[in-house]
Amino acid sequence: MLESAIESLPLMQYIIGMKGEPTKADMMQYLTCWLCKGVYRDAHTINECMCTYCKGCIYKYFTENATRYKCPSCHSELGGKPLEYVVRDQILQNIVDSLIPDFKERDDKLKSILLKRLNEKRIQKGTYKPPVSIQKQTQSVNNTTTTENTLSQNSSGKQNVNIVDIEFKLVPLNDEDVNLRMPELPKKLKISQKNKTILTVKKHINKLIQEAIDNIEILCKNFPVADSHSLEYIRKTKWQNNSKTMVLQYKRKRKIVGNNRQDI
């Protein structure tokens, strides 16, 4: 289906006619946004002139200057409401996604990393504002939107379990056995959805300091917690101190082989 979609594009027919099989490079030059010079992100086409841009690029172009009423690349007149001609172009976007299969994935990952970093900075500065959906719920009870209020609001269990963030610290446990101690993480403070599990926390530690997930033990108030438990569950059952940032400790697991305890 995709191949026939590609071949139905006039430009592709042109390329095929000229050089036989189109190369990836041939295709890429027709999948590039004229405004940002990158491959399309959420391709949107102006249905008057059939020029395509990233959604973000073309919306920004027309909204940041209300006197713009022509297609930026071919200058077709689009009247007073140019955005009415802009429509999502799923076929083109599918072609981009199939030529660069991990592009969207990498793009999404990058976005979420940047957002996380930004939020961490905002929390440090005290300017963090939760996403609009959370703000609305918080405001309906209390007219403030500070992190502290949002978090204590979470603990009352009134909010949607899937969308609310939880703030916690990850600190290495100073086990009496030196071999079980693990290094500090580059960043202690973490924000995560409260339904995320301890296994997710282990994966995070594994990524940062390359300790095998099976070797990591997470504890709360010195008590080991299970992989399957969510952060919210641990806060309610083990931490029980809703006013403060939850502290989770981590250390290397002591491996038990037969009847003999053995360190790793």
| 87 near Zn ion (CB under 5 A) | no
**Which of 31, 71, 205, 218: binder of Zn ion (CB under 5 A)?**
71
252 phi/psi in degrees, rounded to 5: -75, 145
Residues 6+ apart with CB under 8 A from 112: none
Closest approach of Zn ion to the CB of residue 65, in Å: 17
- Binding of Zn ion at residue 31 (CB under 5 A)? no
Residue 26 and residue 14 in contact, taking contact as beta carbons nearer than 8 Å = no
Determine, following the binding rule CB under 5 A, whether residue 54 of this chain makes contact with Zn ion: yes
Does 33 help bind Zn ion (rule: CB under 5 A)?
yes
- How many residues does this entry show for the chain? 264
Q: Is 92 in the site for Zn ion (CB under 5 A)?
A: no
Among 15, 31, 39, 57, binds Zn ion (CB under 5 A): 57
- Minimum distance from residue 92 beta carbon to Zn ion (Å): 12
Q: At what angle do helices 132-141 and 147-155 cross, to 10 degrees?
A: 80
Structure tokens at 203: 């994966």
Please tell me whether residue 5 binds Zn ion under the rule CB under 5 A: no
78 lines the binding site for Zn ion (CB under 5 A): no
Whichever of 75 and 244 has its CB closer to Zn ion, that residue is 75
Q: Is 95 in the site for Zn ion (CB under 5 A)?
A: no
| Of 116, 60, 54, residue with least CA distance to 89 | 54
The CB-of-86 to Zn ion minimum distance in angstroms stands at 11
- Lookup: tokens for 264: 């790793």
DSSP-derived secondary structure letter, 219: E
Q: Which is nearer to Zn ion, 36 or 209 (CB)?
A: 36
Q: Per CB under 5 A, does 36 bind Zn ion?
A: yes
Told to check if 83 binds Zn ion by CB under 5 A, we report no
Taking CB under 5 A as the rule, does residue 49 contact Zn ion? yes
Which H or E element spans position 172?
strand 165-172
Q: Residue written as tokens 């037969």?
A: 258
CB closer to Zn ion out of 33 and 86: 33
Q: How many angstroms separate the first and last alpha carbons of the chain?
A: 54
**Residue 35 within binding range of Zn ion, rule CB under 5 A:** yes
Structure tokens at 210: 């390359």
Binding-site ranges for Zn ion (CB under 5 A): 33, 35-36, 49, 51, 54, 57, 71, 74, 76
